[in-house]
Amino acid sequence: MTPQYGETWVYESLIGAIPGLDLSDRVALITQFVVFEAIVLVVAGVYGRWTAVPAATAAILVAVVGSWLMLTFSRTVRRLQPPTGYRRLLFGSSIELALSVLAFVLFVTYLFVVDPQRGGESLLTALLGSEPPVVAVVILLLVCWDVIYRIGACWWATVVGFWRAIQYGFDAATTRQLTRLDTLNVLFAGVQVLLVPFVLDHPVLVAALVGHLIAVVVVAIATVVLQRRGIVERE
């Protein structure tokens, strides 16, 4: 089934708009990891910033897992063809992009304004040194955006899933597949915890990552309970 407008993530739409690019999901994910990791290693080698590589690799891995989640989510939703209202709210609203932009702006503000004013070594200095190369900062922000966008998509999918469970009931087979998607959101939120060791000295960032995990778990559990209850009410 060819995806229609309003039935894809912004991420998918951008990739799909590249002429002549038709990669399988596996190849696309491997390519994403290899290309970003290669860029990180080259920049680290050129500027001698090897201390940033572990954090960058962890972030790239989280972003790749997020890409897998988004592709799996959208493919499954399009295959199941749930009510149009749910699909439009999930994909067509592009709210995940708005949430991600807001989160990225807050992160950049923390990175360049709030954190340096706290005293002590800032996150930027810890990763890239006291005089960070411009190219390295660009790559850092690009990787961070990649992660933040996928976190925004995960949260939006979780929230819309809760709305779906309130609004719609499905047969047992469809419910199983939809609630499986809800648990995938929990899985991705858990993967994000890989970043916590690199920001332990930054309580705001730790709270954001762990808080997101807790919020996703709570909402996903409520979604699964409500969605399964919907089967009983329809029978």
C-alpha–C-alpha distance, residues 144 and 109, integer Å: 13
The mean pLDDT value for 1-22 works out to: 61
Domain ranges of the chain: 10-234
pLDDT (0 to 100) of residue 1: 45
Residue 89 confidence (pLDDT) above 80? yes
184 vs 1, higher pLDDT: 184
Q: What letter does residue 198 receive in the DSSP assignment?
A: G
| DSSP single-letter state for residue 21 | -
Residue 148 has pLDDT above 80, yes or no: yes
pTM over 0.85: yes
For CA atoms 196, 200, 201, 203, the dihedral sign is positive
Judge whether 227 and 179 are in contact, CB under 8 Å. yes
Give mean pLDDT, residues 129-143. Answer: 95
Digit-coded pLDDT (tens) for 21-41? 666 778 888 989 999 999 999
SS3 content of the chain, % helix, strand, coil (to 5): 80, 0, 20
Q: What is the mean pLDDT of the chain?
A: 89
**44: which 2 tokens?**
């680290």
Q: What is the mean pLDDT of residues 86-91?
A: 89
Confidence at residue 7, expressed as pLDDT on a 0 to 100 scale: 65
8 Å CB contact between 178 and 161:
yes
Dihedral sign, Cα of residue 76, residue 77, residue 78, residue 79: positive
pLDDT digits (tens, 9 = 90+) for 39-70: 999 999 999 999 999 999 999 999 999 999 88
Residue listed under structure tokens 């950049």: 108
DSSP 106-155: HHHHIIIIIHHHTSS--HHHHHH-SS--HHHHHHHHHHHHHHHHHHHHHH
Mean pLDDT for 56-85 is 91
Bigger pLDDT: 169 or 4? 169
| Residue of 197, 192, 191 whose CA lies nearest to 126 | 197
The C-alpha R_g of the chain, in whole angstroms, comes to 19
Cβ atoms < 10 Å from Cβ of 33: 16
Average pLDDT estimate for 82-107: 91
**Average pLDDT for residues 161-176, to the nearest whole number?**
92
**If pLDDT is split at 50, 70 and 90, which confidence band does 164 have?**
very high
Instruction: Give the pLDDT confidence score for residue 158 in this predicted structure.
Output: 95
